[in-house]
A = this chain, B = another copy of it.
Amino acid sequence: MKNTDDSTRSLLASILDLVEIGDGDFGAIGRLAEASSDPESIQLTIDRLSTHPQAKKAFTSRTRLKPIYLAKLHQLPAGTLGHSYAEHMLGNQLKPLQTPPAETEQQFLATHITETHDLWHTITGSKTDICGEIQLEAFYVAQLAVSRFWLALLTKNLLKSLLYDLDATTGYMDALTKGWLMGKQAHSLFGLDWDALWETPIAEVRASLNIVDV
């Protein structure tokens, strides 16, 4: 690429790597996360999120999720957030993601997004297949106001579809559109106190966040 600095080159390279490597390679996703986390855009995300009191409070307190015991959450009544989340995790053979301590706002942004990622899957009804991921990626782009990382994942998927799998386009575009509209319409999820909501009916949590199927 011409007229382009090293960080932009490395971001583009990490997107093209992901196009080649295939979905779900955590190493490649980690490299993309690093390449897309330039200080300026991360600060912009923090600034924009902080216009919401809930996110501002979260950046100050940097409260983390309490340890999650899936078997225990699974015993909550069907229809609660906790039961639905445990179903999602156990059904997809997922374990809660481990995250490092967060001592700065920048670290908290990454940590909070990572540790609540599967909760966002659950609450938005986004499956773990590629269309579900695309839907959630677009939801993040809408919710975080500016996010180089999630926009990069979304673009990577369109690039992949146009280079290698044109028949996937309609499903991808439908998922992107749905996630974008849902994410714009919903209240801000960042910094929500999920620990207080495990026993609440998921339909009630969705309604309170204005998460509506479009």
Contacts and interface: CB of A to CB of B under 8 A. Distances in A.
B155 A169 contact: no
A29 interface: no
Interface of A is mostly: helix
A170 B20 CA distance: 27
Contacts of A180: 173, 176-177
A166 interface: yes
A20 B1 contact: yes
B142 A162 contact: no
A200 to B, nearest CB: 31
B167 A146 contact: yes
A81 interface: no
B166 A41 contact: yes
Given A176-B177, A176-B180, 13 more contacts: A1-B19, A2-B20, A3-B20, A4-B20, A8-B164, A12-B16, A12-B159, A41-B166, A145-B170, A151-B162, A155-B155, A158-B158, A176-B176
